Amino acid sequence: MSTLEDNVAELRRQALGINRAFAELSPLLERIHLMSFNAKLASHRLGHEGLSFSVIVTEVRAMAQELRLLIKEAEKDFWVVVNEMATWAKVEKENRMFQRSIDAVNARRDGGAAAMKWKPELASGVARDWQRRMSALDPADPTRGMWQRIVENRDKIRKSVLSLNRLAARLTGVISRIDLVASRKSDFLAITSMIESARVVDKDDSLQTVAENIRLLANDIATAEEKASEQTVAFRALAAEMSRALANE
């Protein structure tokens, strides 16, 4: 059974991967802005012949704005996740402190008795076990208050994990919407721009360069989105596994 520390470390690694993917997407939006400005100038030079390409450029700009809003939404959820994991680390650290204190008290009281084998926070039945041990103590026992905090912290961990699972599901949904925009819409615009630029190549070949830039940009967007999607799927799977271990307690 993995410890909470192991799982948090893995979730943190996956979260960093998601953040890196977002970091790759953001500069691409600035590239879209610059590219669309140049494309608009080129299409205006063609007058009526450039109207179709001008429409494509407008759609590219709209796509960039849609992506920007979706990324902002995803990053908002992402930072809530980061805060949840920071809370776990704090709670786990506090529990370790209480556990060491309980072991020290018991060792002094029982003539150097060995420290008890503490189960990982996510182990099956650990909450009931800790509650039972606390309930069996005399109200005046010096460790009872520490046991109470350990049990309460374990419940905080449980609620936090269940909350994280819901956040992971929501983040997955946002990433799926980003996929629709980043992959499918950008591919469609790239293909359409290539067709339109070929239609007017005899009048102005600069649009071919713009169309090629749109194609490269679409590939870069799809690659960054795929990385974010892979990390998010792994993140959600681990969050769901942790949630299942705690859901019925």
Instruction: Report, in angstroms and rounded to the nearest whole number, the Rg of the chain calculated over CA atoms.
Output: 27
Q: Cβ distance 216 to 247 under 8 Å?
A: no
Q: Is residue 114 in some structural domain?
A: no
Q: Is residue 115 in some structural domain?
A: no
Q: Is residue 38 in some structural domain?
A: yes
Per the structure, how many domains does the chain have? 1
Q: Is residue 118 in some structural domain?
A: no
pLDDT in tens, the chain (249 residues): 556 667 777 887 888 888 888 788 778 777 777 777 777 777 777 777 767 777 777 877 787 888 888 888 888 888 888 888 888 888 888 999 999 999 998 888 877 666 677 877 777 778 888 899 899 999 899 899 999 999 999 888 888 888 888 888 888 888 888 887 776 777 777 777 777 667 665 666 667 777 777 778 778 888 888 888 888 888 888 888 888 877 766
Residue 179, domain extent: 4-108+123-247
pTM, full prediction: 0.72
Calculate ∠ Cα 29-31-35, nearest 5°.
120
